[in-house]
Amino acid sequence: MHDVVVVGSGPNGLAAAVTTARAGLDVLVLEAQPTVGGGARTLRDDHGLLHDVCSAVHPLAWASPFFREFDLAARGVELLVPEVSYAHPLPDGAAALAYRDLATTAASLGQDGDRWAATFGPLARDWEALVGALLGRSVRPTPAALRGAALAARYALGPVGARGVRSGPTDPFRTPAAQALFAGVAAHTSTPLPGLAAGGTGALLGALAHAPGGWPVPRGGSQAIVDALVADLTAHGGRVEVDRPVRSRRDLPPARGYVLDTSPEAAREILGGTRDVADPGERANGVSVAGAGAGAGAGARARGRGLVRGWGVGARMSAAARVDLVLDGPVPWEEPDVGRAGTVHLGGHRAEIVRAEAEVAAGGHAVRPVVLVSDPAVVDPTREVAGLRPLWTYAHVPLGSDRDVTDDVLAQLERFAPGVRDLVVDTRCTPAARMAEHDANLVGGNISGGPVTVPRVLLGPRVRRSPWDTGHADAVLGSASTPPGPGVHGMGGWFAARRLLRGLGLSTPSLAP
């Protein structure tokens, strides 16, 4: 009989495990995969290179309230911060660069420099209040949180907000460089542009790009964050068992309480709750994949024929297909300064990005999909082995697509880095339809725990008194499907653990080292 059993060892699951173990409880974490970490794992390939399985760049790992209290640096995790947070190459051979230094960024954007500084300056200067407002949903309101909420509201209602990717008379940016730079960061939502959720993502990530911690890459890969969490868990008596899939109550050891770092659909199957549609296999994190097109697998389409009742109804979004590359040298970007960035957004001009995201959300494959790229060796020389280096990429594709997008990704790379194909030593594609083989929460390639809509991020998958409740007194949901949504921030698991501790009559422990 355990006190707490946590299902899933991603950052949220481990955040919940650390919190409950520090409260003096006996904690067991069950992980279906042979290694710990969920979407934050790092695995070594046949060339001896470390590849991040899902997440690679971590602005929220230094900024979130959970990790700030946990203090990764004090636990030996080194977050390496590039001088350029993200870059966006353009078809004419130029590029837009989001330097960590806001003034340098503004100076590089010409006539849009003042607007960029006026938009992101207040957000970056008061980043802690902004993060507290957007990620600290259940924290008792404080002056800083209220100030952050006011900042976010002024941004949303201002000239950028949801209109930041809109052309026409209300266009807040006039130059192709600034337009593309904002569109690239807004596209992280994997939703059609423009939109309030995309604008909010642009606000948070754009502000952190110019904040002290920037967009860092952990030395040695994302696994460093996972290892620090596991070390703290074991130091407080908890343990992790791998190769332990949980599909129903029968797979759960007896416990006083359970934290599920899973999708809402998986939680219902595990707990035996009421189903929303007749076939429990007809859902993909609340988003239909019925129109996924010729590139989508039949099984994925079948799983998506229905829509769950809730905030996913009517949502349109894209999925991710990952392509891991091994290069014999750095990417030969046409604009060399792009090589100073830890993250690169490939998509061309803003109009191309908007069109590509709309095509994918409608169920088709874009001719030139939006591609996110990270070259960790830019700031972490340990990632290079015998002259070889990993290149992390993913492309936006229809939900449930089984298409091998290696050629699509290479074409986008070659477009902005002529000759890069000559450096490719090895490639490995994980289509969207197979992403769940690496992490069961990534159904159909959905890496966001569900649709990124304002109601879903604020209120969770269902309207409940607490968005972490499951309808079962002994179990809470603590995954990316709950507020504050996707990202390596640990907040969903932390909130769920606090909810469980209150039910057990215990207070939330300190996370300080």
Report the alpha-carbon distance of residue 465 to residue 143 in Å, rounded. 24
Confidence band of 190 (pLDDT split at 50, 70, 90): confident
Pick from 475, 41, 379: nearest CA to 229: 41
17-26, 368-377, 431-440: least confident range = 431-440
Kindly give the residue spans of alpha helices, DSSP state H, lying in 286-349: 298-303
Kindly report the length of the chain: 513
- Average pLDDT (315-331) is 90
Band of the pLDDT at 141, cuts 50, 70, 90?
A: low
pLDDT at position 199 is 75
Answer yes or no: is pLDDT of 337 > 50.
yes
d(CA 40, CA 32): 14
Nearest Cα residue to 57 out of 505, 493, 488 = 488
- In the chain, % of residues over pLDDT 70: 84
Tell me what pLDDT residue 287 has. 30
pLDDT of 483 strictly over 60: yes
Residue 40: pLDDT above 90?
A: yes
Cα dihedral 356, 361, 366, 368 in deg (nearest 10): 40
Q: Of 164 and 314, which is predicted with more confidence?
A: 164
Residue 311 has pLDDT above 90, yes or no: no
Q: What is the pLDDT of residue 120?
A: 93
Residue 32 clears pLDDT 70, i.e. is over it? yes
Pairing verdict, β 2-7 and 255-260: parallel
User: 109-112 long-range CB contacts below 8 Å, 24 or more apart?
Assistant: 109/175, 109/177, 109/178, 109/181, 110/175, 110/177, 111/174, 111/175, 112/173, 112/174, 112/175, 112/177, 112/178
pLDDT (0 to 100) of residue 361: 87
Listing DSSP states for 367-396 in one string gives SS--EEEE-GGGT-GGG-BTTBEEEEEEEE
Q: What residues does 95 pair with on adjacent strands?
A: 89
Token look-up 């969903």 returns 492
Residues above pLDDT 90, as percent of the chain: 68
Residue of higher predicted confidence among 360 and 155: 360
In a 3-state reduction of DSSP, which class is residue 250? Answer: helix
pLDDT above 70: residue 317? yes
* Residue 299, number of CB atoms within 10 A of its CB: 13
pLDDT of residue 305: 28
In this predicted structure, what is the pLDDT of residue 293?
A: 35
> Which strands form 84-89's sheet, in the order they lie side by side?
95-99, 84-89, 341-346, 371-374, 389-397, 319-327, 424-430
Residue 278 predicted with pLDDT over 70: no
Mean pLDDT calculated for residue range 245-256: 96
What is the average pLDDT across 351-377?
94
Residue 17 CB: number of other CB atoms within 10 A? Answer: 33
Range of weakest confidence among 86-90, 163-167, 485-489: 163-167
For residues 268 and 260, the answer to whether their CB atoms sit within 8 Å is no
pTM value is 0.89
Q: Tokens 């200067």: give the residue.
A: 125
In DSSP terms, 218 is beta-bridged to 79
Give the pLDDT mean for 308-336: 79
pLDDT score of 294 more than 70: no
C-alpha span between 352 and 415 (Å, rounded): 14
